[in-house]
Chain A
Amino acid sequence: MILSEIELIEPEENRVKIAKDDRYLYYDYLIIATGTHPRPDETPGLSESEWRQSIHDFYTFEGATALAKKLRTWEGGKLVVNIMELPFKCPVAPLEFIFLADWYFHEKQMRDKVELKLVTPLPGAFTKPRAASLLGSTLEDKNINLVTEFYTERVEPEKNLLISYDEEEVEYDLLVTVPVNMGADVIERSGLGDELNHVPVDKHTFQSTDHDNIFALGDAANLPTSKAGSVAHFAVEVFVDNFLRYIEGLPMLEKFDGHANCFIESGFGKGILIDFNYDVEPLPGKYPLPGFGPFSLLQESEMNHWGKVMFRWMYWNILLKGKEMPITAQMTMAGKWS
């Protein structure tokens, strides 16, 4: 194992240049897993004079702690959560943040002093229709406004305004932003990325569309599904068997279906769970045991919240130790109703 910054990937030479000792590593096969990262510098006005003052993010450790501190003494006003660009990692996070903010201000007995607004470039609260409609009505029930198809061009930090490409404006007192997400700079430098530095790959096998001996996994790839830890997890399960076949010269068999599975904390001790893939949108039902659950899909419940709490334990004790999870990598239709 070598711990080092990767400076350049040279696919024509089959080698990777690392910062440590200016070394080259030669490869037969290369697996890229450099992730995707928030880039506030991509939006004019965002990370300038008001950054971490009236404009915050929660995707970095520094951002999340600064925002928590800000909220402790904030006296209320217009709190706007906005999404700059698609795709971004953990697509349910802005919804989860705003649900939890609603709960937090209730608990602080100041919800009446706070106007909550979610501003998104999407036509609804989520891309897929059934989930968009359920999550949309959950927002409504919680008195959270939703502004759709708002594609932010710039922020005017002195005037507290978000401005879209078609010159619409949204005013805020406190902006919590999900900045543009982009793949690692090394991907761009190496000429391996698309317009957002994500690596174009076959969506079932993760093989690079340009280089047969390069694969990209997780957030680094341009897969048309959520950029989420659950997706990376399911994807790797499918990938390992396939890759072992590939290096033996055998055809790759199993196909990744884009399986994603996300808990959404919705506040007041409840949660929502969604389960979907490339072809099947999130549907209502029971999970993981058909008919029994104990978790309810696309529905708010206390059990779902406890699922997320339990997952904390599973993460450290099962996932990170590489033990088998009691969940299948491929999505199943059993227990879902449409």
Chain B
Amino acid sequence: MTTREIAGKEIEFDEEGFMTNPEDWDKDVAVALAADINITLSERHWEIIEFSREDYQAQGEAPGLRRITKEAGVPTKDLYKLFPKGPAKKIAYVSGLGKPTGCI
């Protein structure tokens, strides 16, 4: 567990670098986390982040790609363009959620 200052707040991260308390998240935190991984948030990014936050509230875990594509109606291809190289993890990271499980 590590703590970093993000957008003026003390935020806790797990060993894999994901936020441990999704409640500490706000839009300024999202902008800073996105900047961390070289992403400037556009309206389309926000749509996906908002969907993921809501889905997390309902399901208790960060959504996977197929779920985002089906439920938020964003083609997987676009997810890869908006959050290049590992969109599922990057979306969860910027949305302040834990790592998506990708169950096995």
Q: Which residues of A contact B (CB under 8 A)?
A: 85-87, 91, 121-122, 126-128, 149, 151, 153, 165-166, 194-196, 200, 223-226
Contact = CB atoms under 8 A, between A and B. Distances in A.
B77 A165 contact: yes
B71 A226 contact: no
A86 B84 CA distance: 20
Contacts of A165: 76-77, 79-80
Contacts of B71: 195
B104 A166 contact: no
A127 B102 contact: yes
Closest 8 CB pairs of A and B: A127-B104, A195-B70, A91-B104, A224-B103, A165-B80, A195-B67, A166-B80, A87-B103
9 contacts: A86-B103, A86-B104, A122-B102, A126-B104, A127-B104, A195-B66, A224-B61, A226-B103, A226-B104
Given A122-B104, A128-B104, A200-B59, 6 more contacts: A86-B103, A86-B104, A87-B104, A165-B79, A166-B80, A195-B71
Contacts of A196: 66
Contact of A166 (B59, B67, B84): B84
A151 B65 contact: yes
- Which among A87, A128, A166, A225 has the greatest number of chain B C-beta atoms within 10 A? A166
Interface string B63-98: 011110111000011011000111000000000000
Contacts of B64: 86
Contacts of B70: 195
Nearest to B78: A165
A127 B65 contact: no
A149 B86 CA distance: 7
Nearest to A151: B65
Which among A91, A127, A151, A153 has the greatest number of chain B C-beta atoms within 10 A?
A151
B21 interface: no
B101 A224 contact: yes
A195 B73 CA distance: 12
A86 B102 contact: yes
Given A166-B80, A195-B66, A127 B103 contact: yes
Contact of B66 (A85, A91, A166, A226): A85
B14 to A, nearest CB: 13
A238 B66 CA distance: 31
Contacts of A225: 103
A73 B76 CA distance: 38
Contacts of B104: 86-87, 91, 122, 126-128, 226
Contacts of A149: 85-86
A121 B80 contact: no
Nearest to A88: B104
Contacts of B79: 165
B51 to A, nearest CB: 13
Contact of B102 (A121, A194, A195, A200): A121
Nearest to B63: A195
